[in-house]
Each structure stands twice: as C-alpha cells, then as structure tokens.
Amino acid sequence: RKMKAEKAAELMCVFPFVVKAFEMEIIPAERIVAQIGDTLTLTCNATGCASLSFSWRTQMDSPLGGKVSNHRTYSTLTMNPVSVVNSHSYLCTVLCDEKEKKEKSVEVELYSFPSDPIIEISPSLVAGEPATVICKIPDVYPSDRLEVLLKKDEHVLHQEEFSADDSTNTETKTVTYTFHPMAEDIGKEITCVARLPIADMDFAPKERTSSQKLNANFGPQNTVITASPGNSLMEGDSLNLICVTQSNPPAQIVWSKYLGEESIQHLLKNSVLSIPHVHFNDSGRYICEVINLVTNKTEEATVDIVIQGAPVITKLSIEPSTTVQEGENVSIQCSAESNPPPKIILRRKSDNADMQLYSARSILLPSVMFQNAGDYECVAENKFGSSKSEITLNVKYGPKNTMITVIPTAALKEGETVTMKCTSSGNPAPVISWKKKKATGEAEKISKNATLTIQNLKSEDLGLYECEAYNQFGKEEKAVKLYVQGLLEEPDQMIPLIIAFSSVAAVAVPAVAILIYVSRQAKINGSYSLVKALRLKV
C-alpha cells in the first residue's frame, strides 16, 4: 500500500491535471456591498467535472432581480441596476454529471449615497430677518443611518438624525433650518455635511459635503458723514463731505441741504460732496440720505457746517434809483454777510460829524433835498476784518440861489464899462440868459452868457435887466435896474446919475424894490449930477 500511495503521488507531480476533484466558488465570496443603482455581477465557477449545470435562487425563493447567463464552466447573475429587491442571500447550485451537487451562497448588502447634498438658500436674504437653509440628500438608503450637520464656517448650526426612519427604499431626505443672518455673516460658508456611518459595510465615501457662501442683503446702517478739513471753515476754504454707510447691495446716496421750514435743496447723487471754495451761504445742515433699493430701507445722517470770515458786502443800493428828482422818497440800503454777523454802518461820507445819517443797514430820505446828494459809504466789520463799499446819490433839482453881481460897485460915469454877472445852482447846471425890458414892456433877449458887459455906457442903456436861470426841472429869475435918479447942481458940468437896482423873481414872481438913499444931499436945479450907485446882491 505504501508503495502504491507513493506511486500515485509521484504520478500527480508529473501529471497534475490528470486527476482533479469537483470544486465550485462564487465571486465575490460570501458577502458583497453594492450601491443601489450600480451594476452588480455574481459569478459561479466550477472545476473538476466534464458536465456541469448551474442554477440560482434566493434563500427565501424571492425573485432573483437579475439576469442569469450560463456557460460551460461558469454562470453569472447580473443585476443592472441594483435595487432594493436585490438585498438577499443568493445561492448558486452546481450539478456535476447529474450526480454530484455543490452549493455556495453570497450575501448582497445594499446602500445608496450617490451624490453630494444640495443646499438651497434664498438669494435675497436680508440681515436681521429670518432666513431658511434647506439641505437635500438625494436617494439615501438606508436612511435610518443618515446623519446631517449644518454649519456656518466651523460653527454647527443644526444637527439631525433619521434613526426613527423606517423607509425600505431610497429617499431624498431634507433638513430645514431657519436662522437670522447678520451683516458680518456675508462671505461665510454654509456647509451641509451628510454622513452614512454604517460600520460593518465597506464603501466610500461615507461622508459628503456641500457649501454655499452667504450673501445677505442688509442696510443701510451705521451711516456717518466725515467733514474734511472739519465742520468749521474760513470762507474760501475747500470742503469735502464724505458719506459712508454699510449696505448690501451698495446703497444709493443723495445729498441735500436743509433750508428751513421743512424746505430741502437737493444737491447731487454721490458719496462725496465737494465745494472747492466755500462761501458764507454754504453754512447750514447737510443731509446724506442712503437708500437700499433691495431692502427698501433708508437711513439719514446730518452734519452742521459753519463758515466764518471777514464781512462781504452783498448789496449797496439806492431806491428807486441812484439818480432822483428833488422831492422823491429815497431809501439807501446796505447788506453784508459774515460769520460772526457783521456790524454795519451806513453814512454819507461828507457827514463825518452828522450822526443823524448813520444807520445800521438803511437810510430813509423822505422828500429828498439837493443837500442830500453825495457819496454814501457802507462799512461792515467783525473780528476777522472789514469791508467797505461806496455809492453816489445824484439829486436833480431846479435852479436855486440865483444872484446878480454888478461891477463896479462905485458910481458910474457915462462912457464907462459896467459888468453884470448872474450865478445860479441847479442839477443839471442851469442855462443862464439875459433879457432887457423895452419901453413897451416886452423883454428882449440880449445875451446867452452868464456875464453881461455893457461898454461905453449911454443913457439908452438904462433900464431893467433880467437874468433867467433854467433847466428841465424849473427856472428862477433875478432883475437889476440901471436908471437916472436925478440932476445935481455942479458949477462946471451936468452928469447923469445912474443907479442900479436889483430884484429877484422865482418863476416870474416880482421882487420887492430896494430903495437907495444917497447920503450926500443934492439940490435939484435942472442940471445932472452923478452920484454913487449901490451894488446889490440877492
């Protein structure tokens, strides 16, 4: 026997395939983990038999849920796609030469975790208002082993398990969480972490994540105005007002200025309001209004600007005009602006000692007279300096103070020269002319000059001479009379006595005669004598 066994062993070493026992195997062996939706093929192999037959079944004789394909030495069971009906123990039976039978089984365990979570966040989140995050985990199986975390960056917002779930098929599981995003949350990530931690099942991945950045609409809020170089400036400085706010999306900025009594002056739409050279009227309250068109919210910030400096005279006027007619009502007004407010003095320059025409801002001249004409000055001053401006009042009036001067003033002799000069004031300057009364009473114009000169005086030159001063606002007349007073007795000759009388008439009104008394008493005896004449001024 021993020799026979050794011989048989020797023959097997030389011819190893000559004698082989009937064997079978299932690939994969004993246990396989498959994902629902994938394709799974089970292979049953047999060796050591010339004639083989294969068959497949489940332990509970349920439907196979797959397609069987038999070949000479092997058989396959293909499940495409794998579904929950394939969660069985599959048994492969091999019959050799219709005599010997062998069986092996494999346990098919199923799961489904095919894709990353889906995060849904409202695209129009508003800071401070409720926001909902939805995390969906598609086609999970078994869902009772699912764990879900919601995180904001590394901070856990919400955690949920589905251990009480009794689903027998794949399901999309949803986790919903409501929170209040803040402005500082913008840019942070909301992460959904889904885990399927089945310890005795070998598959990967067992954890899937998805993230989405927060973009919450908010504001405007914390709106402030920065004034550069400051709130208090000197006139002529440059001013920049910068309005800064927190808003998402960026807010629309509108500048305006408060004018009082709820009146607003709209300026521009920009974050920066620039005034290159400030003036006193730029003082006041500025308003920056910011508007978020998405959140439909507005916010305002204000700043008070003070402009200081030396006075600037803004108005120096004469009403109704700088040129008026005597008798009109006249108002002279001066305005100036500065900060602090200016002290204003308005006066006529020639009235240095006349305090009656000093005024804070205006001078009223009811029924103005020609004496009120002249240069008026306005002086405005404060601690930063002073300003001065002048204006001229021109008063038009008719002739006044008309006078006649006769030269020489001593007694005249026949054949000498006499000069009569007429002067008058008025605005515009009066035109002066001379007339002489004829014996008929008519007046004859004899000169258009202010000075009338009679040379080689004769008796026919005696009589009444009239001076007329005229302009567009009126006229005034004066008269002087050259006449013979009488005859004086002289031993050698007779000389006519010529006396000059002067009278005045305002617009042809006769004047009172002036009597001349000759101090030297003369006896009239039929001869002429020349006596001293008197020069008159009226």
Buried b (16+ CB within 10 A) or exposed e, 107-138: ebbbbbbbeebebebeeebbbeeebebbbbbb
Higher pLDDT, 467 or 518: 467
pLDDT of residue 9: 43
Going by pLDDT thresholds of 50, 70 and 90, the confidence category of residue 36 is very high
Domain final position from 278, 308, 338: 308
pLDDT at 533 over 80: no
Indicate the average pLDDT of the chain: 84
pLDDT of residue 194: 97
Buried b (16+ CB within 10 A) or exposed e, 267-278: eeeebebebeeb
For residue 334, give both structure tokens: 């001066």
Instruction: Specify whether 334 is located in the same domain as 361.
Output: yes
Strand partners, 479: 466, 503
pLDDT of residue 373: 93
Going by pLDDT thresholds of 50, 70 and 90, the confidence category of residue 489 is very low
Going by pLDDT thresholds of 50, 70 and 90, the confidence category of residue 359 is low
Instruction: Specify whether 41 is located in the same domain as 105.
Output: yes
Residue 507 lies in a domain: no
Read off the pLDDT of each residue in 143-159 and give the average, rounded to a whole number: 94
Percentage of the chain exceeding pLDDT 70: 84
Buried b (16+ CB within 10 A) or exposed e, 362-385: ebebeebebebbeebebbbbbeee
pLDDT of residue 2: 43
How far is the C-alpha of 423 from the C-alpha of 437, rounded, in Å? 20
> Using one digit for the tens of pLDDT, what is the confidence trace for 195-240?
999 988 889 999 999 999 988 888 899 999 999 999 999 999 999 9
Residue 491 lies in a domain: no
Q: Which helix H or strand E contains 269, and what residues bound it?
A: none
Going by pLDDT thresholds of 50, 70 and 90, the confidence category of residue 19 is low
Residue 490 lies in a domain: no
Q: For 507, left (φ over 0), alpha (ψ -120 to 50), or beta?
A: left
Residue 155 lies in a domain: yes
Type of residue numbered 347 = R
Read off the pLDDT of each residue in 505-512 and give the average, rounded to a whole number: 34
Residue 458 lies in a domain: yes
pLDDT of residue 500: 56
Instruction: Specify whether 278 is located in the same domain as 321.
Output: no
> Using one digit for the tens of pLDDT, what is the confidence trace for 101-130?
999 999 999 999 999 999 998 877 888 889
The position carrying tokens 């800071």 is 127
pLDDT at 355 over 70: no
Instruction: Specify whether 443 is located in the same domain as 355.
Output: no
Instruction: Specify whether 209 is located in the same domain as 125.
Output: yes
Read off the pLDDT of each residue in 319-339 and give the average, rounded to a whole number: 94
How far is the C-alpha of 432 from the C-alpha of 445, rounded, in Å? 11
Range of the domain at 335: 310-396
443-452 contact pairs (CB < 8 A, 24+): 450/421, 450/422, 450/423, 451/419, 451/420, 451/421, 451/422, 452/419, 452/420, 452/421, 452/422
Instruction: Specify whether 457 is located in the same domain as 382.
Output: no
Read off the pLDDT of each residue in 266-288 and give the average, rounded to a whole number: 90
Residue 502 lies in a domain: no
How far is the C-alpha of 388 from the C-alpha of 73, rounded, in Å? 124
The three-point CA angle 361-362-368 to 5° equals: 165
Read off the pLDDT of each residue in 317-342 and give the average, rounded to a whole number: 94
pLDDT of residue 482: 80
Domain final position from 193, 216, 239: 216
Instruction: Specify whether 315 is located in the same domain as 391.
Output: yes
Instruction: Specify whether 90 is located in the same domain as 155.
Output: no
Going by pLDDT thresholds of 50, 70 and 90, the confidence category of residue 287 is very high
What are the helix and strand counts (H, E) for the chain? 1, 37
How far is the C-alpha of 316 from the C-alpha of 235, rounded, in Å? 21
Instruction: Specify whether 279 is located in the same domain as 235.
Output: yes
Read off the pLDDT of each residue in 33-46 and give the average, rounded to a whole number: 95
Task: Count other C-beta atoms under 10 Å from residue 178's C-beta.
Answer: 10
Higher pLDDT, 267 or 498: 267
Residue 242 lies in a domain: yes
pLDDT at 302 over 90: yes
pLDDT of residue 291: 95
List, in sequence order, every beta strand (DSSP E) within 448-497: 451-454, 463-471, 474-484
Strand partners, 290: 253, 299
What's the DSSP call for residue 174? E
Q: Phi and psi (nearest 5°) for 350?
A: -80, -5
Alpha carbon distances (Å) from 185 to 190, 204, 219, 245, 297 = 10, 33, 13, 17, 19
pLDDT at 71 over 60: yes
Instruction: Specify whether 299 is located in the same domain as 285.
Output: yes
> Using one digit for the tens of pLDDT, what is the confidence trace for 289-300?
999 998 899 999
Instruction: Specify whether 410 is located in the same domain as 387.
Output: no
Cβ–Cβ under 8 Å, residues 506 and 471: no
Read off the pLDDT of each residue in 479-507 and give the average, rounded to a whole number: 53
Least confident of 22-36, 273-287, 484-498, 518-532: 518-532
DSSP string, 379-403: EEEETTEEEEEEEEEEEEEEEEEEE
Higher pLDDT, 55 or 515: 55
Going by pLDDT thresholds of 50, 70 and 90, the confidence category of residue 484 is low
pLDDT of residue 503: 52
pLDDT of residue 486: 45
Read off the pLDDT of each residue in 17-23 and give the average, rounded to a whole number: 73
The total number of structural domains in the chain stands at: 5
Cβ–Cβ under 8 Å, residues 486 and 522: yes
Nearby residues of 201 by Cβ (< 8 Å), 6 or more positions away:
33, 109, 111
pLDDT at 349 over 70: yes
Least confident of 217-226, 282-291, 425-434, 496-505: 496-505
The domain spanning residue 194 has which CATH number?
2.60.40.10
Domain final position from 91, 111, 131: 111
Cβ–Cβ under 8 Å, residues 379 and 388: yes
pLDDT of residue 413: 77
Higher pLDDT, 486 or 314: 314
How far is the C-alpha of 312 from the C-alpha of 466, rounded, in Å? 55
Q: Which of 382, 227, 387 is nearest to 308 (CA)?
A: 382
Residue 269 lies in a domain: yes
Q: Which of 248, 270, 246, 266 is nearest to 256 (CA)?
A: 266
Going by pLDDT thresholds of 50, 70 and 90, the confidence category of residue 17 is very low
Nearby residues of 117 by Cβ (< 8 Å), 6 or more positions away:
135, 136, 137, 148, 192, 193, 194, 208, 209, 210
Global pTM reads 0.55
Alpha carbon distances (Å) from 27 to 24, 74, 77, 200 = 10, 11, 11, 20
Q: Phi and psi (nearest 5°) for 341?
A: -55, 145
The position carrying tokens 């240069």 is 375
CA 298 to chain centre: 16
> Using one digit for the tens of pLDDT, what is the confidence trace for 379-396?
999 999 999 999 999 999
For residue 126, give both structure tokens: 């508003």
Instruction: Specify whether 355 is located in the same domain as 382.
Output: yes
